[in-house]
Chain A
């Protein structure tokens, strides 16, 4: 009995430590959010404060009033993130189905080559893409960002792992009944993939939403920019921008990601978990 109650106390201790850690993990976001409601002169005041003093939206208004077309840029980010997500869901599921379920010559070789993609940082591929886009008129165009984000090695890898962990019997039975591969894919495999797909969706969405390096290389017109580039313009040349206004813009940029996560979290967590298990 005594041993058990001491275990409970240890348990509570662990949970308490975790709560404390969780709050610390959130502190940077809390400071950012609180700064978006303060004047710039208070930015680096000591002691720091992590809660908004008022709910005065002046800094948010200032973002919208600036010469940076923030709403337009917000829309661009949404378009790029949504279309990239849809694209990846399609291309990655198709490929993952083939790599996990179908037999054809060169399959493992192709898959291996595809995996290589994880190893190439964006800095390596951007210049040739720029030159290619210049030829076909995709510079300064959010669709150019969509196009280069339509597939990913990570997505294919993750979905393939997930599919391989699912039982095959249903599919084999359907094949015996003379169903085509497309039908098997669409009617049987896809419905089972739901949690993995929502995980991939959130990873792709946030990846496109947060991307900085590629958009910066491919976009110069403020009307075609995405949110991380708008932050640069608001921070200003030589940092002459107003830090509170930047924080307000950042808070607005973070908001959809937080919402998306809150809505989809259960599915996401279920899905992410499968990317790693069972080879």
Chain B
């Protein structure tokens, strides 16, 4: 009798579960899964409206890997992702530590606005401003550098600086997001333990590395995974500043993908580049998940 009741309950629960999940999953299947499947199929084909559709096997993939530029583009993507993730999360953490203190309400409002506003305003609306700030001959930053008697820096026109400049803007744009998540995590660290450590005369660094860090490590890890997924798809930050240049110095996979899809009209080839990008993101996420099992203290 009891068993019967339980299995009824279980069925009802399962039915409710499927019903609740249905709307979002249906939309997801139509707008994400199906297109992705189409893209994967297309990556093994050549397609042009008037010349037709041909299966070409692995030719598109071979073309990418035999492209001499592929290595640079792959390298740029990884380099950007590594640096952008590191700085976005690290600066977010430093800001969170600095802001995690009692302060007057107006100041708190000001900080929230200042650090979070870039997160919610489209890059498209501020692209003109940043290009103007970075311009070599007419830029704001170089103007102030030269009034201080310092040399002008080719922010966007030299491969030595271009990636750095892009990362600075990217951190400006995104670090506020991680800061806010990390502030909450810091507030979750139990006060008594921190107080006890201070009483024992532990240095702030020691308190941080022995108590705070282990406590917030799962959140920190979430930030790293989330930031990596975004950074590996980086598009806007680069397009609006350098468009991938000078030369190929800042070209990422997604920019190359759009170049090819929309300039060569080679849909099959572009699809294969997207598949490569998806696989790259997948591999890196899996590595991070596996690595975290070892590193993160639960």
Contact = CB atoms under 8 A, between A and B. Distances in A.
A127 B35 contact: yes
Contacts of A181: 12-13, 16, 20
Interface of A is mostly: helix
Interface stretch (B106-114, B156-164, B243-251): B106-114
User: Which of A11, A22, A97 is most buried by chain B, counting CB atoms within 10 A of its CB?
Assistant: A22
A257 interface: yes
Contacts of B135: 44
A124 B143 contact: no
B128 A25 contact: no
Contacts of A29: 117, 121, 126, 129
Contacts of A237: none
B180 A104 contact: no
B181 A275 contact: yes
A26 B117 contact: yes
Given A22-B115, A153-B28, A104 B18 contact: yes
A15 B103 contact: yes
A272 B182 CA distance: 10
Contacts of B185: 273, 276-277
A49 to B, nearest CB: 10
A28 B131 CA distance: 11
Contacts of B10: 103
B111 to A, nearest CB: 6
A48 interface: yes
B219 A98 contact: no
A94 B20 contact: yes
A139 interface: no
Interface stretch (A57-65, A68-76, A111-119): A111-119
A246 interface: yes
Q: Interface size bucket, A side?
A: 35 or more
Contacts of A135: none
Interface string B122-134: 1111101110110
A269 to B, nearest CB: 6
Contacts of A265: 109, 112-113, 116
Contacts of A273: 180-181, 183-185
Contacts of B23: 90-91, 94-95, 150-151
Contacts of A83: none
B278 A25 contact: no
B20 A97 contact: yes
Interface string A250-279: 100110011001100100011011111111
Contacts of A14: 98
A250 B237 CA distance: 18
9 closest Cβ contacts across the A-B interface? A273-B184, A210-B122, A22-B114, A104-B17, A125-B35, A98-B20, A104-B14, A128-B35, A181-B16
